[in-house]
A and B are shown apart, each in its own frame.
Chain A
């Protein structure tokens, strides 16, 4: 079956512009996660959605970052007024309910110029 997909694969934007990153999880997976990975670094947790529960937003670095998940499936991560330090690979993962393995998408490489 299809894995986790993300779009776009690459995004170059100017400082101050808003960007939207999309994630399509594996069908039937109730949990969805967003992470950020800077070059050569580890994975930084951003936000976690589980079913109809309120999302865990504890990892969002500032109020410029927001995410939503519509219909329990597709998710969009929005970064407003992008800064150069936002440049990174943004990874999405999905899983069945706790505490199962996470399946990662290929990521979106964001470059803020």
Chain B
């Protein structure tokens, strides 16, 4: 079936360091979304990428969609303690259904 691999599973950084999480699919995606889940909270939408090679920025966050639309990444520059949480990619394969297949998530811990 469709699977979305996300690495790393866990990342611990010092405040001010950069952070990147990667998402990979074995098949081509229609689009990909990214969500953040704070500890004890529910996932909150960050962004959606649709076009091949697309790059979007939100302040210190940079999102990329691969040329082949099979992988994506989220990069955070100069992490802050407020960045703590689990980051999930969510893949949409298009077709008749709009269900999202969520990646396994990357838990980010930021030490002040």
Contacts and interface: CB of A to CB of B under 8 A. Distances in A.
Contacts of A42: 88, 102-105
Given A42-B88, A101-B33, A106 B100 contact: no
Interface string B55-76: 0000000000000000000000
Q: How large is the interface on A (under 10, 10 to 19, 20 to 34, 35 or more residues)?
A: 20 to 34
B99 A106 contact: no
Nearest to A47: B99
Interface residues of B, number: 21
Interface in A87-108: 91, 93, 98-107
A14 interface: no
Given A42-B102, A45-B100, A48-B98, A91 B43 contact: yes
B103 A99 contact: no
Nearest to A4: B42
B31 interface: yes
B99 A33 contact: yes
A100 B50 CA distance: 11
A50 interface: yes
Contacts, number: 55
Contacts of B88: 42-43
A53 to B, nearest CB: 9
B45 A48 contact: no
A101 B43 contact: no
- 7 cross-chain pairs, A with B, having the tightest CB-CB distances, nearest first: A101-B45, A43-B102, A104-B42, A98-B98, A48-B99, A42-B104, A56-B97
Interface of A: 31, 33, 35, 41-45, 48, 50, 56, 58-59, 91, 93, 98-107
Interface of B: 30-31, 33, 42-45, 48, 50, 88, 90, 92, 97-105
Given A101-B48, A102-B90, A105-B42, 18 more contacts: A31-B98, A41-B105, A42-B88, A42-B104, A43-B43, A44-B102, A45-B100, A45-B102, A56-B97, A59-B99, A91-B43, A98-B98, A99-B31, A99-B48, A99-B92, A100-B48, A101-B33, A102-B100
